Chains A and B, each alone.
Chain A
Amino acid sequence: MADRRDVAAHPVYLADGVADAEEQSERKFIERLAQRDERAFNELVELYEARVFRLLLRMLGRRDEAEDMAQEVFVQIFKAVGTFRGDAKLSTWIYRVSVNLCKNRMKYLARRHSEGEDELEPVAERAALDEAKGVTFGDVAQPDRMVEGYQIERVVQQCIAELEPDFREVLILRDLEDLSYEELSEITGLPDGTVKSRLHRARSMLKANVERKMGEKIR
């Protein structure tokens, strides 16, 4: 018979134990949330606000819109947390709520003709200006390289904004947020194969668009 201590010390059992403890603590946390525990909800917001904001900023391309949307996401989570069944991880569910609300907002903005060039221009301008703040050409060894860098960033931001929301969503979740295909599948509600092909198409479209605008191949 195996020594009990040996079994407990085995990395697999340790990992299982840690995973179980994490699952239990998440379950308790979700119970507190479902009971409308305001302190638990404060913890949730503090835990996820940076991730949610970053995702929304990447999707929407505007800081003010992303901040407003992030607040709305958490309000909706507060309202709907009682319906969360715990089938997926809490973080995946939060991403799903964020992405769905974000896509609705993008549709709304598109209807108001405020999406596209008008919205992205200030972002691109601001990014470039923020980068250049306090820097003069005399300070930089290779000013031509710096300008080229800003130009590429701006083009990439424009090309991302030009992607359809469904493609933008998978590209950002996978290549920037580093989520797994399984998580992407849960968030988008699409089969695994569809997620993969959509991601492939999103990358191809983005690459082709950037190369077309820059007039050179991405190396």
Chain B
Amino acid sequence: MSDPGTDPSHDLESSEAAAAPHEPDEPLRSMLRGALREEEPPPNVLAGVQKRIRERSKGKFYADGWSTAKHPPLNTYLVTSLLMLAILGISYALLSPLAGAPVPVRNQPVPVQLIPH
């Protein structure tokens, strides 16, 4: 950007400024707005910005998933936990009938037999 103090064109512009009408030229303004209106929504640049910062800082910033995510993925953790509990419950329900009754084991001690010399 040029320095206003050293550029002679600024003096010229300033002197012109006094005579210049500063009210907006409405037909021109509406024509400008019409020609430059943006109908597509603006893109989401956050992910791209985070990637650039991560790369240029060599991973110092935005290094982990928590900080790069807009919001912590709480739903993912909740759903995963509930799913694991459901799997455990189903496994228990399926496998417990297969277990059957316990097999009786004789726990009587074998009589001691002395071997004669």
Contact = CB atoms under 8 A, between A and B. Distances in A.
Contacts of A156: 31-32, 34-36
A157 interface: yes
A135 interface: no
Interface string B30-64: 01111110111011111011101100100001100
A43 to B, nearest CB: 10
Contact of A100 (B1, B13, B34, B48): B1
Mostly, the A contact residues are helix
B20 A189 contact: no
A23 interface: no
Contact of B22 (A50, A153, A200): A200
27 contacts: A38-B62, A42-B70, A45-B46, A45-B49, A46-B46, A53-B42, A54-B42, A63-B40, A67-B43, A70-B43, A71-B49, A75-B52, A75-B53, A78-B53, A78-B61, A153-B35, A156-B34, A156-B36, A175-B32, A176-B32, A176-B33, A176-B36, A191-B4, A197-B14, A197-B20, A198-B13, A219-B27
B95 interface: no
B36 A157 contact: yes
Contact of B61 (A36, A188, A190, A198): A36
Contact of A45 (B10, B38, B45): B45
B29 to A, nearest CB: 5
A197 B16 contact: yes
Nearest to B69: A42
Contact of A197 (B17, B48, B68): B17
Given A53-B45, A71-B45, A200-B20, A193 B28 contact: no
A190 B34 CA distance: 29
Contact of A193 (B13, B33, B39): B13
Contacts of B49: 45, 71, 74-75, 78
Interface in A43-69: 45-46, 49-50, 53-54, 57-58, 63, 67
Mostly, the B contact residues are helix
A200 B45 contact: no
A118 B31 CA distance: 23
Given A190-B4, A191-B4, A193-B18, A207 B36 contact: no
Contact of B17 (A46, A152, A200): A200
Contact of A49 (B27, B35, B39, B46): B46
Contact of A57 (B22, B38, B48): B38
Interface in B101-115: none
B89 interface: no
Contacts of B36: 58, 156-157, 160, 172, 176
B116 interface: no
Contacts of B1: 100, 103, 188-189
